[in-house]
Amino acid sequence: MSVTRIASRYAKSLLDLAVEQGKLEKVSADMNTLGAAVKSRDLYLFLKSPIIHADKKNAALDAIFKDKLDSLTLAYLHLLVNKGREAYVPEIAAAFIAQYKSLKKITTVKVTTASPLSDAVLADLKKKLLESGATAENLDIETTVDPELIGGFVLEFDHKRYDASVAHKLDRLRASFSKNLYVKEF
């Protein structure tokens, strides 16, 4: 079975269980915490290691996350370890977050600009996106700064990309000049 399918199924079961027990917001915060924690190379390699026995992994997870995660999330982690699926925790966390955002109708919008955006510009951008109807009713805007864009912005959401950067326009202009449609070839 593919990693994506495994992660999706385990994430869906946790999501359903969290909704059933009324702990959706807490479990969502826990999965964000867990997803960030697993980015640590040491924890990632620890979970992936086939040499370390499940009992030791459960004890270590208890020591690390006992006071930080809800009992449901911790019990779920133990289930993953006991089933031998702990290596998929990063993918399961990402799939859970995606399914949570889908359930709550949250669209993640990534905005890359050449210089940092002011709060007024962000508010205006959010208003325009909501008016367009291309996004869900709730927006999660992630901003990054890339000076190589020179100016303008790049907007990404729902597997779509709108590139209104100066660097992109210069690349298109360079490509059109390389064709040179106005010189008659002999």
CA torsion, ordered 111, 112, 115, 116, to nearest 10 deg: 40
Select from 96, 93, 90 the least CA-distant residue to 43: 90
4 pLDDT higher than 80:
yes
- Domain segments of the chain as ranges: 3-102, 106-179
Query: Which one-letter DSSP state was computed for residue 159?
Result: T
- Residues 121-166: pLDDT tens digits? 999 999 998 998 888 889 999 999 999 999 999 999 989 999 999 9
Residue 104 is predicted with a pLDDT of 94
In the CATH hierarchy, which top-level class contains the domain 106-179? alpha beta
How far apart (Å, rounded) are the C-alpha atoms in residues 14 and 163? Answer: 37
Kindly indicate whether the domain formed by 3-102 is annotated with CATH number 1.10.520.20. Answer: yes
How far apart (Å, rounded) are the C-alpha atoms in residues 183 and 186? Answer: 9
Q: Is the pTM of this model over 0.85?
A: no
Task: Evaluate whether 3-102 and 106-179 have a shared fold.
Answer: no
Q: How many helices (H) and strands (E) does the chain have?
A: 8, 4
Strand partners, 106: 138
- Ramachandran bin of 128, using left for φ above 0, alpha for ψ from -120 to 50, beta for the remaining angles: alpha
Residue 176 is predicted with a pLDDT of 81
